[in-house]
Amino acid sequence: MTQEQYDFLAKKAKELMQNTLDPVHNWEHVFNVKQNALKLKSMLPLKFQERIDDKILAIMCLWHDISYVYYKSGFLQFFIEGVRAEKIVKPYLKAAGLLRKEERLIKDAIRTHPHIYYFFTHYRTLYHKILNDADFIEDSNPKRIALAKATMSQSFFRLFVMKILKPLFYNSYKNHFFNFKESRELVKQYEK
């Protein structure tokens, strides 16, 4: 990916993500996921770092929740957000003129990033795993948690997640659902 392609895609993601239908899945969130992903990459062994292109990883992160520009958080969105996001990002990747393998990798990571795909992501590329962990890490961000609680009335599904699922599974989720042990270190930035 060239710098020009990266700049085009990053600028378009920022423009779109500033107008999402879900305040928890906004530009700040995807930007934080990108920052977490790049920090995580830098903490991994050199043999892994050498296999990751920072620009491709960053674009995956910036576009992973693009479906929230058109769809509100809810039960159906929870299950098909990745498929929706892949369809939305496709014409932008084409317009940027990426190589086919780069385009396929980005679309696949975006399609399979939702938490329900966690067990499948375990068997995917380093890009998939880093995106997955960077997104999980952002679930510990106190600012994002407060925003989710403040917008619980937006959907019954968010109310269900925040009042029932998070309290039941948060501690085990935080300790067991990461692809890299280094990810647990990054969660600590939010526990201060």
Extents of the domains making up the chain:
3-190
Q: How far apart are CA 49 and CA 26, in angstroms?
A: 28
pLDDT band (50, 70, 90) for residue 24: confident
pTM of the model: 0.84
Q: What is the pLDDT of residues 64-89, one digit of tens each?
A: 999 999 998 877 777 788 899 999 99
Look at the block and give the residue holding tokens 């530009």: 27
Q: How far apart are CA 116 and CA 56, in angstroms?
A: 23
Q: How far apart are CA 103 and CA 65, in angstroms?
A: 17
Which range, of 9-18, 96-105, 153-162, averages the lowest pLDDT? 153-162
Q: What is the pLDDT of residues 115-158, one digit of tens each?
A: 655 555 556 788 988 898 888 888 777 776 677 767 666 666 65
Write down the CATH number for the domain with range 3-190.
1.10.3210.10
Q: Above 90 in pLDDT, residue 13?
A: yes
